[in-house]
Amino acid sequence: MIQTLVHGAGRMARRVLAQLPDRTDYQLLGLVSRTEPDADLAADPLAMAWYASLDEVKKSADLLIDFTLPGGTGTAAHWCADNGVAMLSGTTGLSDKDVEALKDAALKVPVLWAPNLSYGVTLMTALVQQAAAALGASANITITDLHHQHKVDAPSGTALALAAAVIEGRSERLEDLLDPQRLQNPPDDDAGELAFSSVREGEVIGEHSVRFELPDEVIEISHQALDRNVFAAGALKAGAWLVDQDPGYYTTSDWLGPSG
Ligand SMILES: NC(=O)c1ccc[n+]([C@@H]2O[C@H](COP(=O)([O-])OP(=O)(O)OC[C@H]3O[C@@H](n4cnc5c(N)ncnc54)[C@H](OP(=O)(O)O)[C@@H]3O)[C@@H](O)[C@H]2O)c1
């Protein structure tokens, strides 16, 4: 049984908690959340061990599943490294400090960070890389992400991962493309441009599209998440894979293979 801690008690962590009882290979060791579980979170909140911080956890865990916000991920990464616990994080919009903490932790424990844990987006990322490589700078590319109004980061972690896939195909640097100067004043010669568009609206779970505009035609690759359960199921599948890995920093392509 994979002794598991869930870090965070928001929209995503709740879906993971809801699916855990259906997984016979998992045992929930406890929920780590700054806020006390409410009645919606667990039918019987008292039946679930709750820790207000990781420092309170004294039991031995195999895996920590992190769906918090920037800051929370870095704290969890330090704790996992110190306690020999594998860490799976789906948190996006991470700060440099969070990323550094994840990479440091990966020297001691297996770490998988994935901005999107759906199989469909992993496959989409591979398809986008293939299309970008085939089309080169002949296409102008727009990556659009549409999410609910509560989402704090933009572009989304998935949009950035899709951009990284484009860049792998076209040998460009993401840092240059995200330079605020360039975003405000796009180059006059716009051949091969890559642009982001992020929309925050209502309760949309997550939609991404990559649009390749050619002189006389358009190719569009898109994905729509219909339910957050798809990410929670992916997290539990990836977590079961991760606990058997050596220490290291893993991505969804390591877990599912480069083509998803
Ligand atoms: N990888 C994927 O497939 C995937 C899919 C969907 C969403 N996401 C990402 O997952 C993350 C969580 O999304 P969500 O919709 O569940 O967010 P949410 O509903 O806002 O929940 C965030 C949770 O994190 C906790 N938290 C925030 N800062 C913290 C800190 N510094 N230390 C400890 N806990 C902290 C919050 O606790 P308090 O209530 O105490 O503030 C809350 O329980 C986001 O980054 C989102 O973009 C990833």
> What residue's CA is closest to ligand 1, atom 15?
11
**3-state SS, residue 179:** coil
Which pTM does this prediction carry? 0.90
Half-sphere exposure (CA, 13 Å, Cβ side) for 228? 17
Q: What sign has the CA pseudo-torsion 125, 128, 133, 139?
A: negative
Token reading at 72:
């929370």
- Residues 214-252 have pLDDT tens digits of 999 999 999 999 999 999 999 999 999 999 999 999 999
Q: Which helix (H) or strand (E) holds 234?
A: helix 229-242
Atom of ligand 1 nearest to the CA of 153: 47
Q: Evaluate: CB of 34 within 6 angstroms of ligand 1.
A: yes
Which tokens sit at 119?
A: 């199989």
**What whole-number percentage of the chain has pLDDT above 70?**
89
Residue nearest to atom 2 of ligand 1 (CA): 116
Does the Cβ of 68 fall within 6 Å of ligand 1?
yes
Edge-first strand listing for the sheet containing 218-225: 194-200, 140-147, 206-213, 218-225
Alpha-carbon span 26 to 247, nearest angstrom: 20
| Ligand 1 lined by 72 (C-beta under 6 Å) | yes
Please tell me the distance from the alpha carbon of residue 128 to that of residue 121, in angstroms, as a whole number.
10
The pLDDT-based confidence of 257 (bands split at 50, 70, 90) is confident
Q: Got the DSSP string for 186-209? A: --SS-TT-EEEEEEE-TT--EEEE
Catalytic residues, which ones? Answer: 147, 151
- Atom 9 in ligand 1: residue holding the nearest Cα: 91
The pLDDT value recorded for residue 190 is 60
Q: What are the structural domains, with CATH classification, of the chain? A: 2-113+228-256 (3.40.50.720), 119-225 (3.30.360.10)
What is the C-alpha to C-alpha distance for residues 59 and 46, in angstroms, rounded to an integer? 18
Whole-angstrom CA distances from 129 to 53, 126, 173 are 40, 5, 14
Q: How far is the CA of 8 from the centre of ligand 1 (A)?
A: 6
The Cα 256–Cα 252 span in angstroms is 6
Q: What is the pLDDT of residues 123-158, one digit of tens each?
A: 999 999 999 999 988 899 999 999 999 999 999 999
Judge if the beta carbon of residue 69 lies within 6 A of ligand 1. yes
Residue 143 has phi, psi (to 5 degrees) of -105, 120
Between CA 66 and CA 239 the distance in angstroms is: 11
11 CB near ligand 1 (under 6 Å): yes
Mutate to test the pocket of ligand 1, among 67, 148, 156, 252 (most ligand atoms within 8 A of CB): 67
